[in-house]
Homo-oligomer: A and B are copies of this chain.
Amino acid sequence: MQKMFYPKSVMVCGVSSSPDNLGRSTVENLERFGFPGSVYLVSREGGDLNGRKIYQHIEDIEVVPELAVLLIPAKAIPDALERCGRKGIPRAIIQSAGFSEFTEGGRQLEENLLNISRRWNIRFMGPNCIGAVNLDNGLVLPFFPIYPEAMKKGPVSIISQSGGLIIDVMRLLILENIGFNKAISIGNKLDLNECDYLEFLISDPQTHCIAIYLENFADGRRLMALARQTEKPVVVLKANRFSSSHQIARFHTTALAGDDDVADAALKQAGIHRVDTLMEMADTLKIFSLSLMKGKKVGVICRSGGQAVTVADAVYRHGFTLAGFSDRVFDHVRKEIRAGVIRMTNPLDLGDVFDIRFYEEIIERVLQEPDVDGVVFGHTYTHDAAIPPTQGLIRATGRLSQQYGKPVVFFLVAGREHFFALRETHAFPIFADPEQAVQALAVSRRHHDHQSLRTATQPLPSGRVKPVGKAPLTPSFMSPEASFHLLRSNGLPVADFSVVTSLREACDAAEQIGYPVALKIASPEILHKTEIRGVHLNLKNRPALTAAFRAMNTGRVLVQKMSAPGREVMIGGRQDREFGPVILFGLGGIFVEVIRDVAMRICPIDHEEAVRMIEDTKGFRILQGFRKQPPADLKALNTCLVKVSRILVEHPEVQNLDINPMLIFDEGQGCIVVDVKIQIDGI
């Protein structure tokens, strides 16, 4: 993969000297950026471009290029790829469009390409992409003109499923003074996909942060595993949030865990920063140029009272608190300024101090405070003479942030005339307003927290756990007794039960289980039992049982021990197309059904993850003990979640699982499954 971005020689197919030839731009880009390797031009027509020979056939080239770039009509691609294979070229970038993104015929063409590439052992990028830009070595392959002076090298590398959008991302990162190192347009990701590129970028010493734009996941679990194994921040804009039609689902788990909800949970669980917008992506990447925010306490220094108030608001909004400043800070402020127009508080409003160099000293004092985990500095200037000292301050702030290992977030509304001069003073990010500044600290802190979790969490098993790919054609329901057996054999507490077909059996079963009992229709097809009078609860004796049994008028009936009252929860699970087994948890009743208060994780989960999952729900307060109720048995609940997660991993045939309700008793009293529905793969 390294050679894909650092080839010693490149062949570009589809070049002519015609002014509107696209391949020509690629060759000229390579020239402009001083790509040091050899470049070979190929086109049926031959001829030359700017004095360079254009070969008529791939076979004519004297050497074996390390990388082929193909920009010829889609239908000519298979033949070209075949020739590359014969020539021994090991890797290619197929830029041409007109494949599966467009027609069914295109899909056929793709099958073809895959076969050819496998036969010749060629790995390729695309099709339907603009290729790669590597500012590290001048490998600039897009088929439109790019100029070095418009680019800026930086710590971020980009992977994008959209070729158009990658231009926007590059431009935005440059506007924001971040820049980028490599930009990879992955197109239809027919062979190499986002995970392959991510794996490469994780190992690439030039890449410090990774930005990814995706419209679907090629391999969700591998993406998670890769992101978990690196300290490099991974920021993902996953679009297509609303594409999946909202099917009416008979399972809570399916209704509650839409594809995008699963993606949300999975990315979070892997410590990936999900963003919704390009701007948010740029803002998120900016903060990683600074030391991480390791705690919750913020020191705020501003140049106007309005800034101070709005920063304080943002500090609380993002879950931070204002640090206490010691007299060391205040004494220094007092020493240097004229009498008493500054209030000695955090936020410190230094509006009356006009010596910009003094700010550097104050920022340093605040960074020295042990109580301060990070600093927000709000700057304002009123005249042009303030620009050079402001630039000095920006540089100093960058240095101090590094020196003290704490982030200093600098925000400033620059005037139009100094806009770029101020932004580009230094490789140190400038934020535009208090919200952006504090939001960035929150991202930094989230990344820090994830780093400490990362090592503690068990890895995702690969191998046997695989995304299902497609929904089964003929799903079927397990019988109630089989469902209960599956849970029980996996160590889950289920209410005593028996399946009977006659009144006599029902009475015997009830005697054995012990009254009171419940009767439920045991037909797996009938899901909404209560609505068709298929359930009779709290039957205290034989006459009650008899009456109920007769009323049901059905063949198979479940006799079940009535449980003592407890708090109702639901545990669900399903196989997701992109991420495999997923587990859900929520409180019963309105929590799940009205306010959709559900926590979700990709399986397997361990005990720590189960604890976080329970705590993620609003209903957690009810379980903790609400209105003098004692706390519920959270330990028992926790164990059940881990066990259900194991069932989902070990039984990929389980398509949907819905434990609803499970009753949780008070602390130390355990819990019990009262009802369960399981849908499995049909045959």
Interfacial residues, chain A to chain B (CB-CB below 8 A): 97-98, 101-102, 142, 144-145, 149-150, 160-168, 171-172, 174-175, 213, 215, 237, 239-243, 276-280, 302-307, 309-310, 312-314, 316-317, 341, 343, 351-352, 380, 382-383, 413-417, 419-420, 432-436, 531, 590-591, 593-595, 597, 618-619, 621-622, 626-628
Contacts and interface: CB of A to CB of B under 8 A. Distances in A.
B306 A165 contact: yes
Instruction: With a 10 A CB-CB cut-off, give which of A97, A302, A383, A413 has the most chain B CB atoms.
Output: A413
A150 B241 contact: no
Contacts of A280: 435
A413 B594 contact: no
A168 B413 contact: yes
Contacts of A161: 306
A420 B416 contact: yes
A419 B419 CA distance: 10
A341 B304 contact: no
A166 B591 CA distance: 45
Nearest to A385: B145
B413 A304 contact: no
Given A164-B307, A171-B415, A242-B313, 9 more contacts: A144-B383, A164-B305, A165-B307, A168-B413, A171-B416, A213-B306, A277-B436, A279-B436, A595-B618
Contact of A382 (B144, B242, B309, B593): B144
A187 to B, nearest CB: 10
18 contacts: A101-B305, A102-B343, A144-B383, A150-B417, A161-B306, A164-B303, A164-B351, A165-B310, A168-B304, A237-B310, A239-B306, A240-B309, A241-B313, A276-B313, A276-B435, A277-B433, A419-B420, A593-B627
B97 A341 contact: yes
A618 B618 CA distance: 14
Nearest to A130: B382
B241 A413 contact: no
Given A165-B306, A622-B594, A383 B435 contact: no
A594 B594 CA distance: 14
Given A165-B304, A241-B317, A313-B239, A590 B622 contact: yes
A565 B674 CA distance: 27
A309 B102 contact: no
Contact of A304 (B163, B383, B434, B626): B163
B590 A434 contact: no
A416 B239 contact: no
Instruction: With a 10 A CB-CB cut-off, give which of A165, A171, A436 has the most chain B CB atoms.
Output: A165
Contacts of A242: 312-313, 316-317
